[in-house]
Amino acid sequence: MNRMKDKVAIITGAAQGIGATYAKALAAEGAKVVLCDLNTPNETAAAIRAEGGSALALACDVTDGAAVQAMVEAAVAEFGGVQVLVNNAALFATLELKPFEQTSSAEWDKIMAVNVRGSFECAKAVLPVMRKQGYGKIVNIASATAFKGAPMMLAYVASKGAVIAMTRSIAREVGDTGIRCNCLAPGLTMSTNVQANAAWADDIVRNNIASRCLKREAVPEDLIGALLFLASADSDFMSGQTVVVDGGSVTH
């Protein structure tokens, strides 16, 4: 249980759901974790500390470049560096399913700001630290919907397609400095927030499951193995790639 020993990992959107699951899994493997969300993720941090782990909890809006920079500086001050960034913060579970022409320009901009620019701001902020170390892992979180062209959620799907493209470009730019940038693309995962959205129920969930090779609901714990692989030395000769974890709905 020491794959992440002596590593410092930032996880955005870590207050609950999948982000909290990622944070707990990294801490269980020995990482010192820095957790951020719009509201300070104290509950996640407390759970990690209760298991003997090290956690720093911070409030941070990932669309605010200055706030993101301050968060990275706090991580370095507390733990001495940053080896891993998990760009998990995103708008999804609370979004309304609707035809794309019913999406307002303001809603489009908000989704793009959080899901795309937020990941960009965080990657940009950790870059000097990782370059100085000569090592780093940036794990962007996309979505299997980007490979499906899923309907009724155009802004979200477009944002996650942008994250995949951004991953490839970052990987090309930073590889010579020892930094790897890869992407994890989950399918529909029944997190707490997804379960609370009435849109993600009944036929939509059943049809999604029917499209999979492995015909069951996905839960946040299903993503841990791939996340740890991308964050650890196990994937040190891998960059610019997108790993889909959706039970085999998408194959590529």
Active site residues: 156
In angstroms, the CA 250 to CA 252 distance is 7
Task: Give first-to-last CA distance, the chain, whole Å.
Answer: 31
Contact by Cβ (8 Å): 37, 114: no
Tally Cβ neighbours within 10 Å of residue 103.
18
In angstroms, the CA 61 to CA 59 distance is 7
In the numeric block, which tokens belong to residue 222?
């299903």
Tally Cβ neighbours within 10 Å of residue 93.
18
Give the closest residue to 219 by CA, choosing from 194, 196, 197, 201: 194
In angstroms, the CA 161 to CA 103 distance is 18
Chain centroid offset of residue 114 CA: 12
Residue type, 241: Q
